[in-house]
Structure 1
Amino acid sequence: MSDSRAVSVRDGMCSPQHRREVGAYALGVLGAADAFRFEEHLEGCPLCAGGVVELGGVTAVLGRYARLTPPGVEPVARAGPGLVRRATEAVAAGRRRTRRRRLVLGAAAVVLAVGVPFAVPGGGPGTGRWTAVDRGSGMTAVVTAGAREWGADVGLEISGVPEPGVCSLVAVGRDGGEETVATWSSAGPGGEPLRLSGGAALRPGAIGRFEVRTAEGRRLLLLTR
């Protein structure tokens, strides 16, 4: 490399445009005049020359793929409007679910406390209370939910869970939608009463009932107002 060319590289003559042209040159899609000018640039720019070498393997793979494609078949499939629409809707739905999960998790993390004074949301027009007693198993539960700007602050007191394992408190909306409020591990019969708190994106007025379920989704208790 001559001294003048070395100076040109050190002085920043490798522009963003040159870096963009690396891929186009490696794929052979530059016009004749642009390719000639870029080759002159390559002689004095080790950065771009290295980029062309790195893309050589990709270019070879793409060329082999094109050669193996049967005649009359497009090497690259074009997404139709239906596929684009479905993909867009799926991304939007995923973002809505992510925002909702973040809202619930940020509003109130589930706290498990045994033998600690149980604090539930205070009374008022935005407060709801759900209770249940299973006379067969002796299982009892009380849920109190207080309205918040982000949804509901939920407190649960439960005792007499008839079997050990992971359990969940699920809020079921009046529209049929469901949301897991809290999850815990039950010791089974003889275990101490549990007191948990959590949060839901649903407001108390929008909650129709609560259910205590096993990890497999089997309902152990139905709580109503």
Structure 2
Amino acid sequence: MPVRLVMAGADLGAQGPVRAKICGLTTPADVEAAASAGAAYGGFVFFARSPRHLSISAARELAVLAPVGLAKVALTVDADDAQLDAILSSVPIDILQLHGKETPDRVSQIRARYGLPVMKAVGVADAADVVALDLYSAVSDMLLVDAKAPKDAALPGGNGLAFDWRLIAGRRWTRPWMLAGGLTAANVAEAIHLTGARQVDVSSGVESTPGKKDADMIAEFVRATVAA
């Protein structure tokens, strides 16, 4: 219930500051930095090719450190039921983030099987991609509007790339949504003002090197988000 209330209160009509998600937490210090900065969500990545990838045991150790108020998000990429079963049987997770090519039917199956809020990432590069957001809003609890990864990219997200925010300016969906893709403390206010986002996601934009979070950058990003 607490997570659903957070999500329901994060739609475009919500009052109060914009919420931030810090994705790709890999150390206890990262969890502490995200919580201390006032982030609403902390993301744990389960994707072997990512520099932010966590084993299930490592993710559990971090998840139990997360205080109340920092919703724990598990990012998976085209995971099958066996992988999801393994994660969720060991790691206390609040939200599932599906960041692969999961179909609307697959999203519905996962949502029904696990009874957790599901956030579906949708990559955007041009106007044609925006149509998919309408399809996924019907089957997910939240949308993550991200920059579409280049065709030769090793990762589906966390590439530090932005998309043309004007593509979604003024758009509204039936579900809460979160903006991602190339966000930093320097540009997040502009992104919020242009798109109307009430939630934002950052990963590489708060790292000193790929996969290494910087506590000062996290704090600066959340401050810029809240002040926008």
**Coarse TM-score class (shorter-chain normalised):** under 0.3
Give 1 or 2 for the bigger CA radius of gyration: 1
| More relative contact order, 1 or 2 (CA 8 Å, 6+ apart) | 2
More strand by share: 1
TM-score by length of 1: 0.22
